[in-house]
Homo-oligomer: A and B are copies of this chain.
Amino acid sequence: MSGSTIGKLFKVTTWGESHGAAVGAVIDGCPVGLSLNEADIQKFLDRRKPGQNEFTTLRNEDDKVQILSGVFDGVTTGTPISLLVYNKDHHSADYSNIANCYRPGHADYTYDEKYGFRDYRGGGRSSGRETIGRVAAGAIAIKILEQLGISFCAYTRSIGEHVIDYDNFDKTEIYKNDLYMPDKTCAEICSAYLKDIISDSDSIGSSVECIISGMPTGVGEPVFDKLDALLAKAVMSIGAVKAVEIGDGVSVTTKRGSDNNDNFIINNDKVEKETNHSGGILGGISDGSDIILRASFKPTPSIYKEQKTITNNKEETTLSIKGRHDPIIAPRAVVVVESMCAITILDLILQNATSTVDKIKKIYS
């Protein structure tokens, strides 16, 4: 019953419900000496903020983060960093119909079954607002990883059948369109497509891809805490994710070994692989090439369309969910995927720092 903490050395605990007083996170194990202020975190939170364009919920939140501990004179001190975002817009809604029935595709039923009781206001803990704590922690992890030369590039890869064209890939485009797509043309097509979906009172599936560059080799702990295993856990723990793929992912099932193996070569005196089907991970350990991860998001379960469901008295009923919902999950989830990858990788980088007697001697000499 205590699953709100992730990480072994860089330990992130999130707390807070959609319609409670606040949401937040405590980060324990952040290395000392990192320059950190609210703005460093805010810019990440702003990427997941609601109400920023026509494809996101209208919920009125400014999501201003406060650092309550762990930072002194603008620098991390090694003590837990407590981050808090007050929920502004949590009194407005009328939840009378949701309180008594189970929305299809949501966690209403399972929470009630697990606990016999639930905070029915806006999904409670299973709300997307829980990801605020993840993103705040991710912002800190990313800032540390940048100092080690590691960088993250996450984006919406597909919306419905519309997949980005890698020949049009433009990293700078990601932050220019509302859909966080690195392909301007695809973003425009999807924008029109989404308007149709909305007008049809429906929602649509999507996917997010994350590429991590500058990885040192050797990160990941055999056999259960492999880099890919922990990335899979971290990303699958995001609401609505139904699949996690590393490198070539599902497509490896139809490939031959001679095609799928990445040959090692020497290029400018450095070890490289001719291809990167493995997505930067071999035997659960980073091989120095880009890490490539994909997450498949189901369509937003909240739709206007009338659906069949049951009440918590176990009677059949129908339900049409009012209010404005995001018709797709991917765009606002891009920064969440990025954050979960960063939290995972930093934790494993810290663990790997003591892998050999020589490394330990280096620190303590």
Contact = CB atoms under 8 A, between A and B. Distances in A.
Interface in A210-242: 216-226, 228-237, 239, 241-242
B244 A236 contact: yes
A242 B245 contact: yes
A2 B11 contact: yes
Q: Which of A219, A285, A315 has the most CB of B within 10 A?
A: A285
A128 to B, nearest CB: 11
A356 B80 CA distance: 14
A158 B102 CA distance: 36
B16 A2 contact: no
Given A21-B69, A22-B68, A116-B358, 12 more contacts: A2-B11, A3-B225, A13-B26, A15-B69, A31-B356, A78-B355, A202-B256, A203-B258, A224-B234, A226-B236, A257-B303, A261-B303
A42 to B, nearest CB: 17
A161 interface: yes
Interface in A65-89: 66-70, 72, 75, 77-82, 84
This chain: how many copies in the complex? 4
A129 to B, nearest CB: 11
A253 to B, nearest CB: 4
22 contacts: A2-B9, A4-B223, A5-B224, A13-B80, A20-B68, A23-B69, A31-B355, A33-B115, A77-B125, A110-B220, A110-B282, A205-B255, A207-B250, A216-B364, A232-B244, A242-B246, A242-B249, A243-B250, A248-B298, A250-B296, A253-B296, A265-B310
B263 A309 contact: yes
Interface in A291-346: 296-303, 305, 307-310, 314-316
B70 A15 contact: yes
Contacts of A219: 114
Contact of A204 (B20, B104, B255): B255
Sort chain A's interface into a size bin: 35 or more
A278 interface: yes
A265 B316 contact: yes
A51 interface: no
Contact of A125 (B104, B222, B360): B222
Given A26-B13, A115-B32, A236-B226, A160 B254 contact: yes
A93 interface: no
A278 B310 CA distance: 17
Interface in A114-130: 114-119, 121, 124-126, 130
A269 to B, nearest CB: 8
